[in-house]
Amino acid sequence: MADMCVEQFAQEKLFHFQDIRTREQLSVKIPQLGAGTALPGLVAALCGAADVTLSDNSEFSNCLENCAKSRDANGAKNVHIVGITWGQFSPSLLQLKQVDIVLASDCFYDTKDFEDVIVTMSFLMERNPEAEIWCTYQERSADRSIEHLLQRWQLECTHIPLGTFEADSPDIGQSGLPGNHTIHMLILKKTKPG
């Protein structure tokens, strides 16, 4: 359970997290350069994950540069950056180290990309059968579904209620986003045979 607040400066945002129970605090700086903030991976690295790889679309060098600036601004030395494009089996995807957990934030944005996202996730799970993909996304339409894609690519999904970690308020993480936002968290795993 964590509390979060965000401060915005001219060229960066400073995210503050605090564990409600232990009062332990963490701050993460993110340069404001558009897409590819890498916040989930940086939080994992700063909380002690031994080896973290940040990725974004390999076709957008500014996103990868933003990941590097975020990593450097936080002194996260155990963080590598790799360009990966959903649905493309590039050398950078094929050469990824073994993974235990993949953090995917808001990757179900455009319906036309859903299968590419799921195919890449399935590939990662095939190579790392015990790994999990922890995914959050904003529901943009109740008519969109990934269920048929999960079945096709042999992935199972567990929906994690945001209330589990006290993140179910209308103003998620004190984000200040206008309107009501439905955010979902899923844990994806490879379907076990039988």
- For residues 37 and 126, which has the higher predicted lDDT (pLDDT)? 126
CATH number (domain holding residue 113) = 3.40.50.150
Residue 153: both structure tokens together:
């690519």
DSSP helix/strand/coil, 33 = coil
**Residues 25-84 pLDDT 10s:** 988 888 766 445 688 999 999 999 989 999 988 988 888 998 999 999 999 988 999 999
Backbone angles phi, psi at 142, to 5 degrees: -70, -15
pTM: 0.82
- Could you tell me if residue 25 is left (phi over 0), alpha (psi between -120 and 50 degrees) or otherwise beta? beta
**Residues 127-181 pLDDT 10s:** 999 999 999 888 888 788 899 999 999 999 999 988 887 777 766 655 555 566 7
Query: Would you list the DSSP string of 103-135?
Result: EEES---SGGGHHHHHHHHHHHHHHSTT-EEEE
- Total domains, the chain: 1
Q: How far is CA 189 from CA 14, 50, 51, 99, 135, in A?
A: 32, 22, 21, 13, 11
Per the structure, the complete domain to which residue 60 belongs is given by 1-190
Task: Please list, in sequence order, all residues whose beta carbon lies within 8 angstroms of the beta carbon of residue 49, skipping any fewer than 6 positions away.
Answer: 78
